[in-house]
Amino acid sequence: MCSWTDGRTLVVQLVPRGASMDDHDPASGCLHEKKKLPAFTWEVRANNRSYHMQFKKKFAFCLTKKKYAGNAIKTAKYNILTFLPLNLYEQFHRMANVYFVFVILLQTIPEISTLPWYTLLFPLSCLLTIRALRDLIDDIGRHQSDRNINSRPCEILSGKSFRWQKWCDICVGDIVRLRKESFVPADMLLLCSSEPSSLCYVETADIDGETNLKFRQALPVTHRELTSEGSVAAFDGRVTCEEPNSRMHSFTGTLQWRGETYALDSERILLRGCKLRNTDFCYGLVIYAGFDSKIMRNCGKIKRKKTKLDRMMDQLVIIIFLVLLAMSLCLAIASGFWAKTFQEKHTYLSALYKHTAPAKQAFFSFWGFAILLSIIIPMSMYITFEFIYLVNSFFINWDLEMYYAVKDIPAKARSTSLNDQLGQIEYIFSDKTGTLTQNIMSFKKCCINGTVYGLGTGRENKQPSGSGMTWSHRGEKMSYSNDVTLLEAARRDSDPLLREFLRLLALCHTIMVEERGGQLVYQAASPDEEALVLAARDLGYVFLSRTQDTITISELGVKRTYKVLAMLDFNSDRKRMSVLVRDPQGTIRLYTKGADTVILARLRSRGPSETFTERALDCFAEETLRTLCLASKVVSEAEYCEWSRRHQEASILLQDRAWQLDSLYEEMEQNLELLGVTAIEDKLQDGVPETIQLLKLGNIKVWVLTGDKQETAMNIGYACKLLTDDMEILEEKEVSEILEAHWVRNSRSSSRKAPGSGRLSQQHPGTSCHKKRALVVSGDFLDKILHTGEVLMKEEGWLWQWLPCRGATDSQEQGSLVEKAFVDLATSCQAVICCRVTPKQKALIVQLVKKHKKATTLAIGDGANDVNMIKTADIGVGISGLEGMQAVQCSDYALAQFSYLQRLLLVHGRWAYLRICKFLRYFFYKTFAGLMAQVWFAFHSGFTAQPLYEGWFLALYNVFYTAHPVLSVGLLEQDVSAKKSLEFPELYAIGQQDELFNYRIFGVTLLHGVSTSLASFYIAFWAFKDCVGSKVVGDYESFSVTVATSALLSVLVEIILDIKHWTVLSFLMVTASLLLFCLFSYLTQSIDAFRIAPAIFRFPDASQNALTDPYILLVVLLSLVVNTVPSLTVRSYHAITGRHSIQQQICSKARREPEPSVELRTHVHRGSFRRRSSYAFSHQEGYAGLITRGDSLRTKGTCATGGLHPQGTAPPSPSCHGPSA
Amino acid sequence: KPDNTAFKQQRLPAWQPILTAGTVLPAFFVIGLIFIPIGIGIFVTSNNIREYESNVFMYYGLSNFYQNHRRYVKSRDDSQLNGDNSSLLNPSKECEPYRTNEDKPIAPCGAIANSMFNDTLELYRIDNDTRTPITLIKKGIAWWTDKNVKFRNPTGDGNNLTALFQGTTKPVNWPKPVYMLDSELDNNGFINEDFIVWMRTAALPTFRKLYRLIERKNNLQPTLQAGKYSLEITYNYPVYSFDGRKRMILSTISWMGGKNPFLGIAYITVGSICFFLGVVLLIIHHKYGNRNTSADIPN
């Protein structure tokens, strides 16, 4: 079949064989190559370990490491020796920790030491220890997972034979034997495979998430020669190639062997993480191992994601810090003035000031106050915060409702610091295949000659859910008998149309078949096709075998061989594929299957059955089944001869070949006779439509970003209720129109205001406000828009009119304006579907929304093609339990099912957000309420930075006295139960709008805290000023104890009011903090403690003396009530007016609820009359060429060098066209 | 598989108190109803305190005296005061510049001790031109903990304080050394109660300290009968330079302390405010009440 060659192929054949594979488009590729030729400095010698060992490379200072990395991977950060120093080093990267160490150091200077040394050291060391422990546990987990991966078994050639060893034993240059279903352990050059033409099928789900099989092909020379173990062991080829890099889909190198040089490209490479499929075994030469492999290069360092609240908290801490510094400064200045008075007038003090000038005193006081007030900076907040996050993550892991029993997979919070963000998600970016769908196609219904078969719900047709790879293992036993009538009709064989229909299913496809162990195994490039062929098989039309130009099927037990005259392959423009066959009787028939729109337009006649079929199509569309129309016609011998001749001419054309072929195909596919319609269900995962519905109600927008085709994506969009019939679908054309209009408007107004400031949705009230809109765009279109706004500049050219008047506008700015406009448009839509997007674009879209909308985003996906997006989004969720674990590895949360997302967000997320917000609010409150009194005291102690509280109280206040109730809020608080949370997804909106913690609430909290501290302080102040109790005579210790007790109790009562969900644990926690206060007060103020260290335990019996005085107790009670009443009043007011209560919202919503749902239903009904094509097919072109060349067939074709067209730009033809060069 | 426990599934039985008018409004009235009587009680008690009945306490008061000055507060050595012999001869650096005098360690060291109040107050009853001194008891004015735990004289052979304080010198401002503060052994040296009271620093610049007790003689007569009294002050303590004032206060102590109008008034005010708030909320409740009677959704 090599006879059809063209001039270009001949030219290329001058270079070594296979070299032409490098560039698929040499016209531009060659130039490109010359411009930047990668340095081929990576040399790999097969079976020569010692060669690779000798190379070293510098990596830091004069340290070197091996140039060729081993295959062991290490993601763990520490080992036993480095743990302590590295961890401490990392911890001191946090500004807060450094600050506290600084303060602790300051404290050692006696002149300014205002607090005892233990006050800050104690909490800080607690903090460091706990964090170190957590890091340790994390790292142990990483060590384990590393060990698991490194100890996977594989066969490595050692000496003359293969031995089972571990992955980590693999070195560069080793030859590895891979068996079916095993993972590729390192990037390898495929040397030889068990399959014909040295093809090797791999599944790259781990790498790009695509589950269809890909072909890799060894060099013919190695395939020919390396057939036995002995020959492999003797292989001494040398590969010279690029240094390790992260470009997944490119590889350039050469193989030198036996004096000849062969070019290598990515088609010869098996990447680490791929899975070998349908190939018994293959040999590979390891080129990049371990961290040098492409996939590991792609796994960049995982950036620590920070939540909104986390960032805000950091800002708040900085604000507090600055305020404290300012406060210290003011107090210090005051202290300077007072120092003068003290020095001059207060004789009992003047000696203390003998050597200190007021300025010096002010300087000391500044630092003194800085130390004193540093306690207000919530150091222990971070640690409590992290603990709360941790436990909340455990709650996610523990949740039985998110446990997938079928595969025994619980939900997993891999990142423990993002829980609150789960309650603030505004946009969800979802992958389609494997995330929304199970990637299982099942033949559901069909309509043949006006009769609809398969009316059953089809639910009984449960397939082993889970693995999307089942098609190649399915035995013949399995039956698609979801409709008995169809089976019977097929058996009866009375309807010629039905016969043709089934024949078509068995003939018109590109599936390859193999007989193994008495079973037919189909290798399909798309699951749709496989579903159809399997359906035909079950109905008695078994596809048995194919050669380059024949197809053999068994029709109800009768074996018939059809001669394939031409395969008119599928592509996304044609939306159909045809096969031209000569049946055993000699009749030539054309069988076509394709999109309804395409097929219906090419029918010979329209009769009642066609009309009925159209109605069936509508029905299928409504059920969101993926439909294909089947049609056929008889072609006369003369017609075929003429056509065939022209076809041959066209296929050797140099120019416009594709166009010519297309028009020829078009010519052939006319005057068809409609056979029927098939309907395939792309099975959604359980509960997907419900989940999406719920998320939509929770004001979360779901965008589907898929690498799949538009039709498929839209079909799924309808199936999962993301798109509804009453939506206006904006496609690329409309989008560019709207953007243009927007641009014009903006440019006109640019003289007055900055362009882009107007909101897009507002500018098109007609289209946005009254109608639900959905946006469907493709990756190419996005590319155009997002790069430099090309879509506007190039396509229209009108932009240039506006440029001069706008002066010097750099294109970057324009680009971002277009971006902004696009994002505005997209976010104003109810649903967005982006199809045909690359992994990079997925990430880009997420990035855009983050950038322009400042929104919190979540990305969910299952494959490695989602990794970028998962990493970019604020929260990445991986679907676990599928073959590819890449997504899970990079995700923050791993779920087994998409539908668990509702619980993750609406229950766990919302609770976590609520908890963290309440926690933050309370934490700031208690810090201010408890500790601000220090400042007020300064006004009455001559600004001398005398601490009001005893050192131990300060040291333990945050850690022991108030930590427990805070924890109880952070761990157990629930406003409404999980069930209610799911029933009322509207409650989720509070998180999106940052309602529970923002600067306003922080301000209120601050004021509340300050007023509490003022009240506690001044009530005690007036009670002590020149007054006496029955025992207490206004002394400092009693005063200190009184203020401390009042403040602490006020703070505790506040949290008692704040807790809305009292469990036994919360009760215990609140009690515990009171008990701890008593206990530690007793211990630190005991006489024994004083005797041991009078300088450390300075307050012997102070509490005991003070708090047994009724006068003090009355004071404490008074300040407690004064502090509580305002807060209680506000709460009561809200409770009575019901303004802020969630219950109220629920109630009002519950009343509103019934009406819109009714309305919705009527919408659907009205809309369903509109005709909508539900055609969808996941097939890609290019396979027909492979078949007709015969590469993959057992009977080896004569043309072995033919490769695949990865991009499929060239027309498929029945010829063996060489590489399209 | 995760455990199906109430805690892990976050299904712990919980009480979810919901603030409603029914629960909150009574709280306000109850607080009001408790606080107003307490306030009145305190107010009345405070007003009924007489300077002459039962045991009378004699205080001296100082104002504008910063006993809570940080460096002043720090300027003491608790170990020394606790009878630690090494600290006695080598006082803490905190005591600077009142640590040593003429190369001898000061006992007690520090600014607090140095500035000890040393006026003497004597009270006489003038009866027909005869001055009868009122017995002022100088013991029992310090806290038990201070007297018995915090402050102890240095230990050594015998009870001769002069010998025990050998090698130390008196604070600069003191007229006599610490071991000559009193003639009685259990009120001398560091455990002199006047000294202890002074060393318990005041929280605020205006303060009073207990000076003496006047014990009630018999139950029939008030401790201080009506009549003329004269107070004799030996003026040693200068306060003029810092605009300070000195006062002498006589007071009896009730269950809630000395005479003090603040607490009673505060209680009455807070109680009234609560009551008022209760009324206001009640009105609001009546206005909004009907709207949210069904607001409680069981969880």
Do B270 and A1122 lie within an 8 Å CB cutoff?
A: yes
Mutate: best of B69, B117, B174, partner A, most A CBs <10 A: B69
Chain A hits for B255, Cβ within 8 Å: 1030, 1110
Q: Residue B295: which of A1035, A1094, A1143 has the nearest Cβ?
A: A1143
Helix (H, G, I), strand (E, B) or coil at A971: helix
Percent of chain A topping pLDDT 90: 11
Tokens encoding A46: 């097969």
**For residues A782-794, average pLDDT:** 59
Tell me the C-alpha distance between A366 and B41, whole Å: 46
Tell me which chain B residue has its CA closest to the CA of residue A1040: B203
Residue A810: pLDDT band (50, 70, 90) is: low
Do B260 and A1038 lie within an 8 Å CB cutoff?
A: no
Answer yes or no: are the C-beta atoms of B144 and B197 closer than 8 Å.
Answer: no
**For residues A835-856, average pLDDT:** 85
Neighbours of B182 (CB within 10 A): 17
Kindly tell me the burial class for residue A51, based on how many C-beta atoms sit within 10 Å of its own C-beta (0-12, 13-18, 19 or more): middle
Whole-number pLDDT of residue A301? 56
Chain B hits for A368, Cβ within 8 Å: 70
Any chain A CB within 8 A of the CB of B98? yes
| ipTM of the modeled complex | 0.95
CB-based contacts of B218, cutoff 8 Å, min separation 6: none
pLDDT digits (tens, 9 = 90+) for A153-195: 888 888 788 888 888 888 888 888 888 888 888 888 888 888 7
Tell me the C-alpha distance between A460 and A659, whole Å: 46
Looking at the complex, report in whole angstroms how far the Cα of residue A1015 sits from the nearest Cα belonging to chain B. 12
Residue A922: pLDDT band (50, 70, 90) is: very high
CA B20 to chain centre: 42
Task: Look at residues A203, A176, A201 and name the one whose alpha carbon lies nearest to residue A188.
Answer: A176
Whole-number pLDDT of residue A194? 81
- Which pairs count as long-range contacts for A96-99, CB under 8 Å and 24+ apart, including other chains? A96/A317, A96/A377, A96/A379, A96/A382, A97/A124, A97/A127, A97/A128, A99/A321, A99/A374, A99/A377
Task: Look at residues B161, B186, B158 and name the one whose alpha carbon lies nearest to residue B108.
Answer: B161
Query: What pTM did the predictor assign?
Result: 0.81
Whole-number pLDDT of residue A804? 42
pLDDT digits (tens, 9 = 90+) for A13-57: 233 333 333 333 333 333 343 444 556 788 888 888 888 888 877
Task: Look at residues A693, A691, A689, A695 and name the one whose alpha carbon lies nearest to residue A720.
Answer: A689
Tell me the C-alpha distance between B65 and B57, whole Å: 22
Whole-number pLDDT of residue A1048? 93
Tell me which chain A residue has its CA closest to the CA of residue B70: A946
Task: Look at residues A797, A801, A785 and name the one whose alpha carbon lies nearest to residue A733.
Answer: A785
Task: Look at residues B186, B178, B83, B193 and name the one whose alpha carbon lies nearest to residue B138.
Answer: B193
Tell me which chain B residue has its CA closest to the CA of residue A339: B69
**For residues A553-576, average pLDDT:** 85
Looking at the complex, report in whole angstroms how far the Cα of residue A984 sits from the nearest Cα belonging to chain B. 12
Q: Residue B66: which of A349, A397, A1095 has the nearest Cβ?
A: A349
Cα B209 to Cα A579, A803, A1099, B189, distances in angstroms: 111, 85, 19, 19
Tell me the C-alpha distance between A943 and A939, whole Å: 6
Average pLDDT, chain A: 78
Give the residue with greater pLDDT, A1130 vs B225.
Answer: A1130
pLDDT digits (tens, 9 = 90+) for A364-415: 889 989 888 888 877 778 778 888 888 899 999 999 989 988 888 889 888 8
Cα A485 to Cα A441, A488, A615, distances in angstroms: 21, 5, 20
CA A277 to chain centre: 27
Whole-number pLDDT of residue B299? 42
Answer yes or no: are the C-beta atoms of A45 and A236 closer than 8 Å.
Answer: yes
Neighbours of B131 (CB within 10 A): 15
Any chain A CB within 8 A of the CB of B135? no
Give the residue with greater pLDDT, A211 vs A843.
Answer: A843
Whole-number pLDDT of residue A754? 41
Any chain A CB within 8 A of the CB of B26? no
Answer yes or no: are the C-beta atoms of A602 and A677 closer than 8 Å.
Answer: no
CB-based contacts of A1057, cutoff 8 Å, min separation 6: A1124, A1127, A1128, A1131
Any chain A CB within 8 A of the CB of B10? yes
Answer yes or no: are the C-beta atoms of A171 and A286 closer than 8 Å.
Answer: yes
Do B66 and A941 lie within an 8 Å CB cutoff?
A: yes
Taking 70 as the pLDDT cut, the residues of chain B under it are 289-299
pLDDT digits (tens, 9 = 90+) for A1008-1022: 999 999 999 999 999
Whole-number pLDDT of residue A771? 66
Any chain B CB within 8 A of the CB of A1018? no
Return the number of CB contacts < 8 Å for A and B.
285
**For residues A637-666, average pLDDT:** 85
Chain A hits for B295, Cβ within 8 Å: 1138, 1141, 1143-1144, 1147
Do B150 and A1100 lie within an 8 Å CB cutoff?
A: yes
Percent of chain A as helix, strand, coil, to the nearest 5:
50, 15, 35
Chain B hits for A1128, Cβ within 8 Å: 24, 27-28
Do B207 and A1109 lie within an 8 Å CB cutoff?
A: no
Whole-number pLDDT of residue B196? 92
Answer yes or no: are the C-beta atoms of A662 and A574 closer than 8 Å.
Answer: yes
Any chain B CB within 8 A of the CB of A638? no
A1200 pLDDT more than 80: no
